[in-house]
A and B are shown apart, each in its own frame.
Chain A
Amino acid sequence: MNYKLVFIDDNMREGLEHPFVRAIGKKRKSAELSVFIDPSKGLDYVLNNLNSKMIVFLDYKFDGYSLQGINVLKEIRKRTSLLYIVMMSANSINQIAGLDILEMINENYIWFFDRNNGTIDDACNLIDKINRLWNVRFDCILENWIIKHPNDANKKVFSQPGQEESYTWERILVELREQTPIGKMFEKLINQFYIYNLTTKSEQNAEDNNSIQ
């Protein structure tokens, strides 16, 4: 399954010619690569593509730009908590000024890549690790389902009583990725409901087995 790999870093250059980017592109062919030197352009791109599976490699420090990596990170987090972001720095994580970045890295979906000591393979391992996490995430399973069953994309699957608006699977995917109240509610209720049903069924089976014995 394809995904977007976005690099926001003023040490790179536009296009895909930076050795780091080119090497990753060769090793991970299903990734659709983009490079942004200007953090605000990178941020715009990310925010306009939140309904895609995406990993953002984000530089911590931008020379000559008012927008810094931490600001980009915060702006993205205002819109979604699901997007995987890899913060890159030439300094070790302990040397990065400001505790907020450390706090944020302790949350899910934020990773750190040491530019000085990290190799291309390290970056690829990180990408693979994120890919494995994608396999079990609700939004990614739904996206895969829509790709395999395109006729289902426009099926209406949810509407709220008393409201005319209805949601198709395609729309639900966007709501999930953007972590809207509907998206969050949808995911929680579906997961909860299936846990409940499996639990109820397993209790019923146990009762049936006991009555047979």
Chain B
Amino acid sequence: MPKIIIAYNNSHNIESHNFFQLCADCIKQSCVDNKYDYTSLMPPELTEEKIMENILTHKFCFIAAHGDVDGVYNENNEDVISTRTTNYAFKEKCFYSVACHCAKNLKDELMRIGINLFVGYENEYRIGYNDTVFADCAMEGAKQICSGSTFEKSKAFMLAKYDDAINDIYKSLDSEKNDSIKNTLFWDAAFLLENKENLVFEGKLSLTLSDIV
């Protein structure tokens, strides 16, 4: 059975740790539902060394942590995976992250190495007030991948999930009387759309997770 790395920064003193935990919980549930083994890596084990060691025996690496154009970082701002780390172990593996900006230089680097799937965001990943909706959308692709869908289908499901969430919020705006809640809903929808537009889902899209050796 494919093995999945679930790496996340749930260090309570960092911003967005609740969201990272939510995302990790989502993919853990998908693993349980589909009987996949997974390895959790969180502080103090959220390190380059642990990721590179584990990816050798895993097919898919999910990381929920802060990032920039060059990479993803841990609670001490150390590279977990970046353009400066040695990433050849990721060849023919899958990388999936909610880290801001990671779909820029890091994506290019991993695609160059020959990764089978890269999922990430080109710009800042924005989290709204209802972070559960944001986590559900962000993890829909992983959920579909775990359930056996091709990457292409998983991407389509993920984009549709974003659309549904945006439209549901937008519809609720009409009936909402409270200005403050209305405002919050509007921005949640706008943030979700921004994340959808920044999503990068690239690689050998005809594959499924079980095709990965």
Q: State whether A190 and B170 are in contact (beta carbons under 8 Å apart), knowing that A161-B127, A162-B15 are contacts in the complex.
A: no
User: Which residue on B lies nearest to A189, using beta carbons?
Assistant: B190
Stretch from A13-21, A35-43, A138-146, A191-199 that touches the partner: A191-199
Q: Mark B114-151, 1 if CB is under 8 A from A, else 0.
A: 00000000000001110100000000000000000000
Q: Mark A150-171, 1 if CB is under 8 A from B, else 0.
A: 0000011110011000000000
Chain A at the B interface: SS class = helix
Contact between A196 and B187, CB atoms less than 8 A apart: no
Contact between A193 and B197, CB atoms less than 8 A apart: no
Number of A positions contacting B (CB below 8 A): 14
Contact between B129 and A161, CB atoms less than 8 A apart: yes
Contact between B194 and A192, CB atoms less than 8 A apart: yes
User: At the interface, yes or no: A71 with Cβ under 8 Å from chain B?
Assistant: no
A40-75 with Cβ < 8 A to chain B: none
User: Which residue on A lies nearest to B180, using beta carbons?
Assistant: A156
Chain B at the A interface: SS class = helix
Number of B positions contacting A (CB below 8 A): 20
User: At the interface, yes or no: A119 with Cβ under 8 Å from chain B?
Assistant: no
Contact between B183 and A193, CB atoms less than 8 A apart: no
| Cα distance A155–B182 in the bound complex, in angstroms | 13
Q: State whether A197 and B194 are in contact (beta carbons under 8 Å apart), knowing that A161-B129, A162-B15 are contacts in the complex.
A: no
Q: Which residues of B pack against A, CB within 8 Å?
A: 15, 127-129, 131, 163, 166-167, 170, 179-180, 183, 186-187, 189-191, 193-194, 197
Instruction: Given contact pairs A156-B183, A193-B186, enumerate 17 new A-B contacts (beta carbons under 8 Å).
Output: A156-B180, A158-B183, A161-B127, A161-B128, A161-B129, A189-B187, A189-B190, A189-B191, A189-B194, A190-B190, A192-B190, A192-B194, A193-B189, A193-B193, A196-B193, A197-B170, A200-B163
Q: Which residues of A pack against B, CB within 8 Å?
A: 155-158, 161-162, 188-190, 192-193, 196-197, 200
